[in-house]
């Protein structure tokens, strides 16, 4: 491939990544990767699929990146990974108290009902709300997660996009969330991956 054609191809791929919200760019034909976005992607791969085979880790990375191009999610990888939804749920609380009434000190029980509002935060990726353990930098699962994140942001995303398509959701095979408007596409390791029902 000629040097000029190589620069053109790299520029087009770089623009495709930028237009989908993936933080990467080309400078003189060399890909620059935003380190913050890289770390967010690597953490998500590690916590969601650290014990999975390589294909499972890649698939989780693909879901994360695919969401950046969909208007239902933030435009950056870190935004997608850290996204939280807050639900405000009303709850009726009943309290009773015994009071003295009248001249002779007769007691009576009064029941009071009031509505309180409970805030519940749900993370798109559960580890974001629940993580307590630290990553050992020498852990092979972490090293593999970093390698896959670097490869996906370094250009492999487009290669896997053809193979893995438009996955936007996944969950453990141990649960059955019964999501609306999704279609089960494939199982990889212990995860099931989904696309929009209309695709």
The pLDDT tens digits for 61-114 are: 999 999 999 999 999 999 999 998 888 888 888 888 888 877 777 888 888 888
| CATH code assigned to 3-83+125-196 | 1.10.10.2520
For Cα atoms 78, 81, 83, give the angle at the middle one, nearest 5 degrees. 100
Each residue's pLDDT tens digit, 120-142: 888 999 899 987 778 899 999 99
Q: Cite the DSSP H helix spans in the chain.
A: 3-19, 35-49, 54-68, 77-82, 126-130, 140-151, 157-164
For the chain, the structural domain boundaries read: 3-83+125-196, 87-120
Q: How far, in Å, are 7, 140, 152, 155, 162 from residue 54 at the CA level?
A: 30, 12, 12, 17, 17
Which segment of 41-45, 57-61, 112-116 scores lowest on mean pLDDT?
Answer: 112-116
What backbone phi and psi angles, to 5 degrees, belong to 197?
Answer: -60, -30
Using a cut of 0.85, tell me whether the model's pTM lies above it.
Answer: no
Alpha-helical (H) ranges within 69-197 are: 77-82, 126-130, 140-151, 157-164
């Amino acid at each position: 491939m000629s040097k000029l054609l190589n620069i053109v191809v790299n520029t087009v791929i770089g623009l495709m990544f930028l237009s989908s919200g993936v933080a990467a760019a080309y400078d003189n034909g060399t890909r620059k990767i935003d380190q913050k976005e890289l770390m967010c992607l690597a953490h998500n791969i590690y916590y969601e699929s650290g014990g999975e085979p390589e294909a499972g880790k890649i698939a989780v990375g693909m879901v994360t990146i695919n969401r950046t191009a969909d208007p239902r999610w933030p435009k950056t990888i870190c935004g997608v990974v850290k996204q939280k939804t807050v639900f405000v749920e009303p709850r009726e609380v009943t309290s009773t108290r015994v009071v003295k009434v009248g001249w002779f000190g007769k007691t009576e029980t009064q029941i009071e009902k009031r509505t309180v509002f409970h805030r519940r935060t749900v993370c798109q990726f559960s580890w974001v709300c629940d993580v307590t353990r630290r990553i050992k930098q020498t852990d092979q699962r972490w090293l593999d997660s970093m390698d896959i994140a670097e490869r996906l942001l370094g250009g492999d995303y487009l290669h896997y996009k053809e193979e893995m398509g438009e996955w936007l959701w996944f969950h453990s095979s141990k649960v059955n969330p019964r999501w609306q408007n999704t279609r089960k596409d494939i199982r990889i390791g212990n995860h099931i991956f989904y696309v929009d029902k209309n695709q």
